[in-house]
A and B are shown apart, each in its own frame.
Chain A
């Protein structure tokens, strides 16, 4: 066994509360209410331990992280420890002066999501009136503080044809970076998979458009492209490998190897506070379960890519192959790879989608059947 290296990155889902109700949200279907959230002291002590352990980068996310009234205090703690701090926000309902206060406290970067490149799309996907204009105003305020800005565009069937417009929007808003991120089917996105799945031809067109723009905009704006798993030949190295570089923390302090890990029912996860972060990272059975390559079966076990993609996503293996230790079915070598294609055909076939989404709401209690 290789020695366990210290984690580099941490995704902190501070809250599940959010003013939007995006159908593609990767949060679990069973959302936590405000009274389950870890308190300020809990987060601060977690951040201190994370910095001691070697975490260099923290992404503050949710839900909508700006709904935490203690956000400035949390950022100040991270900045004091020299941790690079990124805020991932939907940019709706941020009160006057808040962004300035966050910049002042030492925030390093803001990532702002747009559900559509146009107001009608943003409103439809997020189920929130006036959201688009508020986001544009947020972007303007971010730029006014001098903070670097990334625009995040989560892509699926209902906005894939807006990719060129997302590129123009991000340029207009003065973003240094644009993330064209095809949605991953976890949480609410899995529940809405049939409604979100794009057509094959649209995916191919999108790839061309993005590659052309990356070339054209070299040195002007970085475009990071997260390609859609279901159309892939090889999987992505999910989280950079299970329990290898990074981890995430749910609003109640549960520490997870990735945001969908709770869908693997055979694993048990531990809460920060019950154990220290170092104990969880090094010793928790859930973190050890798929760390490294020893757990792998064929075809991964003898594959030359096993330390490139680490066998892909465990949660996707669970959802589609029914075995969390199987190769990610996104991989062409997986015996279940054909199921990905069948799921695309099923979703994009004529009668599959009736024009509605299951919008993300607190209170829905069961995970979808897949």
Chain B
């Protein structure tokens, strides 16, 4: 057996990035953003898109939350769970690297 592989868990200091094999791309035919990945294509909604666009490997999760709270005029504590939940889910789907 090779080294044991472990599940990545989101933390405030994580700097999420899109996985190399996941590609966010504007589809001219359908006029929508698509996230392309092996076998699957996702059509993220506006909120998901805003989160994904901040996944650039430089922003920490806390910074992402601050930016999003500002964008949506929301309270940071109110959206924290939504954002971290989203990132954990997309990390588990191998679309986001934490």
Which of B52-60, B61-69, B70-78, B88-96 lies at the interface? Answer: B88-96
Task: Decide if A150 touches B38 in the complex (CB within 8 Å).
Answer: yes
Contacting B6 at CB < 8 Å: which of A82, A108, A146, A220? A220
Q: Report the minimal beta-carbon distance from B19 to chain A, rounded to whole angstroms.
A: 8
Interface membership of A182, Cβ < 8 A: no
Interface membership of A19, Cβ < 8 A: no
CA distance A177 to B22 in the complex (A): 14
CA distance A54 to B34 in the complex (A): 12
Count of CB-CB pairs between chains A and B under 8 Å:
64
Range class of the A interface residue count:
20 to 34
CA distance A132 to B9 in the complex (A): 35
Residue ID in chain B nearest A7 by CB atoms: B29
Task: Decide if A54 touches B39 in the complex (CB within 8 Å).
Answer: no
CA distance A219 to B29 in the complex (A): 33
CA distance A177 to B21 in the complex (A): 12
Interface membership of B36, Cβ < 8 A: yes
Contacts of B7 in A (CB 8 A): 218-220
Interface membership of A176, Cβ < 8 A: yes
Contacts of B37 in A (CB 8 A): 84
CA distance A146 to B21 in the complex (A): 9
Task: Decide if B38 touches A56 in the complex (CB within 8 Å).
Answer: no
CA distance A221 to B21 in the complex (A): 15
Given contacts A6-B29, A6-B30, A218-B7, whether A148 and B36 have CB atoms under 8 Å apart is no
Task: Decide if B38 touches A86 in the complex (CB within 8 Å).
Answer: yes
Contacting B41 at CB < 8 Å: which of A8, A218, A224? A8
Give residues in A with beta carbon < 8 Å to B.
6, 8, 53-54, 56-57, 82, 84, 86, 108-109, 111, 146-148, 150, 168, 171-172, 174, 176-177, 218-222, 224
